[in-house]
Amino acid sequence: MNGAYLDNASATPVRKEVLDVMLPYFNEHFANPSNVYDIGSEIKQVVEEQRAKVANLINAKPEEIIFTSSGAEANNMAIKGVAFARQKKGKHIIVSSIEHHSVLNSVRFLERLDFEVTFLPVDEHGLIDPARLSKAIRPETILVSIMHANNEIGTIEPISELAANCKENGIIFHTDGVASVGNTQVDVNELNVDLLSLSGPALGAPKGIGALFFNKGVRLMPLIHGGIQENGRRAGTENVPGIVGLGTAAELVSRDLPGTENHCRKLRNRLVNGILDRVEKVTYTGHPDKRLPGHASFCFEAIEGEALIFMLAQAGIYTNTGSACASKALKTSPVLGAIGIRADLAQGSTVFTINGNNTEKEIDYVLEKLPPIVDRLRELSPIWGKEIPEYEKDVCAH
Amino acid sequence: MYSEKVMEHFSNPRNIGEIENADGIGEVGNPVCGDMMSFYINVKDNKISDIKFKTFGCVAAIAVSSMVTEMAMGKTLDEAKKITKKSVAESLDGLPKEKMHCSNLGADALAKAIEDYENKK
Amino acid sequence: MKFIKDQKSDESLDLVCRMCPMHLLEPGDKLKCMKKGQVLEVLTDYDGALEDIPDWCKKCGHEFIGMDEDDDYYRFYIKKKK
């Protein structure tokens, strides 16, 4: 059957070359890296080699990498770790209003502990204005967290400019690189950040592994207390197969990335132009140029996203409505709200994420199947072709 | 996530469309919430002789609408009034819990269409 | 405990927020790379260090010079003796 998997931001298959390297670390090389005898210290050595590979991918030093269980944990560790370590200096934190839930819910948790949080608005493309950040900075600001690239609209933020602003004021700057690392070139020195989170699956590594880059000198209160793994910053015996997977994947990505990026951009442009040519009343969301190379996001008028996702899935085309959690919880996306997309239009949000495995044939298949599916759902829709009256937000029952 | 019955009605919804000069029209929900249904009925000898719908919404909302039209077609108005959210969900072999409240609006839309017909009489 | 002010040091280790026993492991590694007579400053917020560091110095044959307190952490000073 024909099909196209264009939901690579949700999950990617573990690369074959990665899995092959990982497998012996489940049984053959099983020793605990904390053990001092030979087979333990050999594993410790392997873990340190992987740390260097991950560091190399983002132009960091090996001792600046902490392995975590996910991108979400890395975000939690950055936000809560810095907040708890610096709370005597101040309790004010700034984040963008379009952060991932692992950042937003971390700062909301901190609000309950008397931290104050400023949520910076974005423009219609999802960009943060550096001048606005400057204005939000106070003497008691200890941390700013602004994502490198947004997972729902693909927009890439002007991180180096934003971070420079904070460095001058002695404020720690964190960026969530989960959507960007693996999909576009990321250099922590160029970005000028103190902390950066990344996630394994985005690189073709397995789920259950991520990492946090931290600038030497940034104090982080551990989230997981116990032994002194990760240099006393995160307890728990290392996920050695996962770490080997992440290191191997990072090495492959470092090697392949410029090519993959071009490939993805070419396919993305073909998809975007094709959809805009073939379908009327559709909004291409996010920034037209400053965006992830394999990312295309749309809002189709008069259609609800879930219905579209399911109908596309029946044709073997896998996409997403945006953030998986938001679509399950039946909430309108806060990201689309933040860029000023009308609430009824936001219901028709669909996100395509392309990676190196996708082909032109898949894109053409989508361009063939998508327009009739959109037509069919619009035929069903009582609001298609009608003026949408101004609905009040609070009439929603949920 | 959804039962086979839901997916079947979603993939092949029955009675789609509008009825011109319908005897009764019922509209519920709004597009801001993500679910909106319009039901159209014709009534003959106190029975629903024709029924059509249009729905903006998720898989559940579309399947619910289709199921309600199937359940109501040919029924007397009194029988049709007995169609409830619960009976619709049961006929679809269940709906996910989070969809029961907001997407299961078909019975309400039908009730409104009947009310509209009775008010016009 | 010997409290001192304005102690100068040749090297400094920031172990604030790090789990026990990093406050003993890292100074051990660091001192190995230092010269006899040089002073190492150790920053830690771990209360157990108040006992551990002087004891550990005795055991390893280094001189424990004293400590100072900052807002949210301690400063310990160790002179390399061998």
CATH top class, domain A4-10+257-379: alpha beta
Contact between chains at C19 and A225 (C-beta distance less than 8 A):
yes
Q: What would the pLDDT profile of B32-50 be if each residue is shown by its tens digit?
A: 877 899 999 999 999 999 9
Q: What would the pLDDT profile of A151-170 be if each residue is shown by its tens digit?
A: 999 999 999 999 998 998 99
In chain A, where are the structural domains located? Answer: 4-10+257-379, 16-253
What confidence tier does B103 reach under pLDDT thresholds 50, 70, 90?
A: confident
The answer to whether residue B16 scores a pLDDT higher than 80 is yes
The answer to whether residue A328 scores a pLDDT higher than 80 is no
Q: Are strands B24-30 and B35-44 parallel, antiparallel or unpaired?
A: antiparallel
Length of chain A: 398
At A284, give phi and psi (nearest 5°): -85, 110
Closest residue to A310, CB basis, from B16, B38, B59: B59
Contact between chains at B58 and A380 (C-beta distance less than 8 A):
no
Q: What would the pLDDT profile of B47-81 be if each residue is shown by its tens digit?
A: 999 999 999 999 999 999 999 999 999 999 999 99
Is CATH 2.40.30.10 correct for B4-120? Answer: no
Query: What's the confidence (pLDDT) of residue B31?
Result: 82
Interval A210-230 mean pLDDT: 95
**DSSP assignment of A108-135:** HHHHHTT-EEEEE---TTSPPPHHHHHH
Q: Could you tell me which of A81, A33, A4, A56 has the C-alpha nearest to residue A251? A: A56
Instruction: Return the number of other C-beta atoms located less than 10 Å from residue C63's C-beta.
Output: 14
Query: What's the confidence (pLDDT) of residue A302?
Result: 93
Distance, in angstroms, between C81 CA and closest chain A CA?
26
The answer to whether residue A393 scores a pLDDT higher than 90 is no
Query: Any residues with CB less than 8 A from the CB of B86 and at least 6 apart, and which?
Result: none
Q: Which DSSP state fits B112?
A: H
Q: Give percent above pLDDT 70 in chain A.
A: 94
Query: What's the confidence (pLDDT) of residue A391?
Result: 55
B41: enclosing H helix or E strand = strand B35-44
The answer to whether residue C27 scores a pLDDT higher than 50 is yes
What confidence tier does B100 reach under pLDDT thresholds 50, 70, 90?
A: confident
Q: Which residues of B89-114 are buried (b: 16+ CB within 10 A; e: fewer)?
A: bebbeebeeebeebbbbbbbbbbbbb
> Which domains occur in chain C, in start order?
11-79 (3.30.110.40)
Q: Give percent above pLDDT 90 in chain A.
A: 87
Query: What's the confidence (pLDDT) of residue A330?
Result: 53
Distance, in angstroms, between B75 CA and closest chain A CA?
24
3-state secondary structure of B54: strand
Q: Least CA distance to A225: which residue of chain C?
A: C19
Q: Could you tell me which of A290, A272, A10, A321 has the C-alpha nearest to residue A124? A: A290
Query: What's the confidence (pLDDT) of residue A198?
Result: 98
The answer to whether residue C58 scores a pLDDT higher than 90 is yes
Residue A389 burial class via C-beta count within 10 angstroms: exposed 0-12, middle 13-18, buried 19 and up = exposed
B30: enclosing H helix or E strand = strand B24-30
In chain B, where are the structural domains located? Answer: 4-120
C-alpha neighbours within 13 Å on the C-beta side of residue C43: 14
Q: Least CA distance to A387: which residue of chain B?
A: B31
Q: Is the ipTM of this complex over 0.85?
A: yes
* CB proximity A397 to B under 8 Å: yes
Interval C44-50 mean pLDDT: 94
Q: Which DSSP state fits A196?
A: E
Contact between chains at A314 and B11 (C-beta distance less than 8 A):
yes
Rounded to the nearest 5 percent, the helix, strand and coil shares of chain A are 45, 15, 40
Identify whether the C-beta of residue A261 lies closer than 8 Å to the C-beta of residue A293: yes
Task: Specify which residues A7 forms β-bridges with.
Answer: A353
Query: What's the confidence (pLDDT) of residue A343?
Result: 86
The answer to whether residue B4 scores a pLDDT higher than 90 is yes
Length of chain C: 82
Those chains having 3 or more beta-carbon pairs within 8 angstroms of chain A are: B, C
> Which residue has 């020195």 as its token pair?
A189
CA geometry: angle at A189 spanning A185 and A192, to 5°? 105
A335: enclosing H helix or E strand = helix A334-338
Query: What's the confidence (pLDDT) of residue C82?
Result: 82
Interval A296-310 mean pLDDT: 94
- What Rg, from alpha-carbon coordinates, does chain C have? 11
- The CATH architecture of the domain made up of A16-253 is 3-Layer(aba) Sandwich (3.40)
Q: What would the pLDDT profile of A119-147 be if each residue is shown by its tens digit?
A: 999 999 999 999 999 999 999 999 999 99
Identify whether the C-beta of residue A144 lies closer than 8 Å to the C-beta of residue A95: yes
Has this prediction a pTM greater than 0.95?
no
Q: Which of residues 291-320 of A touch B (CB under 8 A)?
A: 302-307, 310-311, 314
Those chains having 3 or more beta-carbon pairs within 8 angstroms of chain B are: A
Query: What's the confidence (pLDDT) of residue A398?
Result: 36
Mean pLDDT of all residues belonging to chain A: 93
CA geometry: angle at B37 spanning B36 and B42, to 5°? 160
> Which range, A9-18, A75-84, C1-10, has the best average confidence (pLDDT)?
A75-84
Which of A207-211, A294-298, A343-347, C6-10 is the least confident region? A343-347
Best of A310, A376, A390, A391 to mutate (most B CBs within 10 Å, chain B): A310
